[in-house]
Amino acid sequence: MPGRRRLRDLPYLLLILAPLFWSGNFIVGRAVRDTVPPVALAFWRWFGGFTAVIAFAAPHLRHDWRAILRHWPILCVLAATGIAAYNTFLYLGLATTTSINALLLQSTMPLVILVCSFALFGERPGIAQIAGVLLSLAGVLVIIGRGDLAMLGALRFDAGDLWVFAAVVSYALYSALLRRRPPIHALSFLAVTFFLGWALLIPFYLHELESGAAPRLDATTVSAVLYVAVLPSAVAYLCWNRGVELVGANRAGQFMHLLPVFGSVLAVLVLGEAFRPFHAAGAALIFCGIALAQFRPAAPASGGRGSS
For residue 270, the model assigns a pLDDT of 67
Predicted confidence (pLDDT) per residue in 2-12, tens digit: 555 577 889 99
State the virtual CA torsion across 28, 31, 36, 40 in degrees, nearest 10: 30
pLDDT at 307: 29
Q: Which residues contact 290 (CB under 8 A, 6 or more apart)?
A: 132, 136, 254, 255, 257, 258
According to the model, what pLDDT value does residue 308 have? 24
Q: How many CB atoms lie within 10 A of CB 190?
A: 25
Please report the sign of the dihedral spanned by the C-alpha atoms of residue 231, residue 291, residue 105, residue 130.
positive
Backbone torsions φ then ψ of 248, nearest 5 degrees: 95, 155
Per-residue tens of pLDDT for the chain, all 308 residues: 455 557 788 999 999 999 999 888 877 887 888 889 999 999 999 999 999 999 999 999 999 999 999 999 999 999 999 999 998 999 998 888 776 667 777 878 888 898 899 899 998 887 888 888 888 788 777 877 767 767 767 667 778 888 988 999 999 999 999 999 999 999 999 999 999 999 999 999 999 999 998 888 888 889 989 999 999 999 999 999 999 999 988 888 888 888 877 877 776 776 566 677 877 887 788 888 788 877 665 544 444 433 22
Q: What is the pLDDT of residue 5?
A: 58
pLDDT on residue 1:
47
- Rounded-to-integer distance, Cα 187 and Cα 41, Å: 23
Do 251 and 118 form a contact (C-beta atoms < 8 A)? Answer: no
DSSP 27-43: HHHHHTTTTS-HHHHHH
- Asked if 112 and 169 touch (Cβ cutoff 8 Å), the reply is yes
pTM of the model: 0.82
Task: Provide φ and ψ at 186, rounded to 5°.
Answer: -60, -40
Sequence spans of domains, the chain: 2-129+149-246
Residue type present at position 38: P
CA distance 227 to 256: 20
Closest CA to 204 of 85, 119, 111: 85
